[in-house]
Amino acid sequence: MLHISVNGRARDAASAPENWGDLLNLLEIGEGGGRQVVTAVRFGGVAVPTFREPIMLARHLHGVGRVDVETATVDDLLHESARAAFQSIAPLRAATARIAMRLREGHELAAVRDLPGLTTSVQTLTTLTAALARAKACVEPHRRDFDSLVVRLCRLVDGVIARQVTADWNAVADLLERELAPTLDAWLLVARRVWSLA
């Protein structure tokens, strides 16, 4: 017999579909920021991190015994993502200062080794910032603030990469110190106002 639990509460399994994909579709309901999204799944007590993979979506539920599901709203997920990004700004800012200092001291190899990680982190922050700008909880003028930050972050990543290609290390250091660091500070200010983060 199948038992289904969603966020710790038992659900009627009598009318459960035969496969996981159909059950997932029934659980993910709503529109916009209030849409419920499945975030974790356990079959018979075993975590299934690949629950969105085609092979898992086709998995029949008979014989599973118990399906435990955790869900959250899109807005809740964005808020948690904003909190994680907020906490990553200090280490990102420290890396920015460290790399700029190494470049200024002539340690290009050490700095160049760290630049890809920095630009990848900034690109991730850019993607999240764009998602936050579209979130229901983000209202004007904060939406425009986040949109402006997306443009600034994209421009900075492109600038760092372009100057790295030409080995213009002083220009990279300038971008990091004079533009990226203040942009990260601006990101913190906007996030604090929108999401009440501290």
- Claim to verify: residue 67 and residue 92 sit in the same structural domain: no
Decide: residue 149, CB within 10 A, 0-12 exposed, 13-18 middle, 19+ buried: buried
Looking at residue 42, its pLDDT comes to 95
- The alpha carbon of residue 68 and the mean position of all alpha carbons in its chain are separated, in whole angstroms, by 24
Mean pLDDT along residues 123-128: 90
**pLDDT, tens only, 12-27:** 777 778 899 999 998 9
In terms of domains, do 64 and 142 share one? no
pLDDT in tens, 81-116: 888 888 999 999 999 999 999 999 999 898 889 999
Cβ atoms of 155 and 126 closer than 8 Å: no
The reply to whether 91 and 54 lie within a common domain is: no
Q: How many domains does the chain have?
A: 2
Q: What is the CATH number of the domain that holds 40?
A: 3.10.20
pTM for this one? 0.69
My answer on whether 66 and 103 are in the same domain is: no
Q: Judge if 182 and 106 occupy the same domain.
A: yes
3-class secondary structure, 68 = strand
Q: Which of 73, 95, 127 is the C-terminal boundary of a domain?
A: 73
CA distance 148 to 133: 10
The phi, psi pair for 36, rounded to 5°, reads -80, 130
E strand intervals along 20-127: 36-43, 46-47, 66-73
User: Is 35 in the same domain as 104?
Assistant: no
* 16 and 90 part of one domain: no
Domain that residue 124 falls in: 76-195
Residues 173 and 95 in one domain: yes
Residues whose CB falls within 8 Å of the CB of residue 108, separated by 6 or more in sequence, listed in order: 102, 167, 169
Q: How confident is the model at residue 136 (pLDDT cuts 50, 70, 90)?
A: low
Average pLDDT over residues 138-158: 86
My answer on whether 88 and 36 are in the same domain is no
Do 109 and 88 have their domain in common? yes
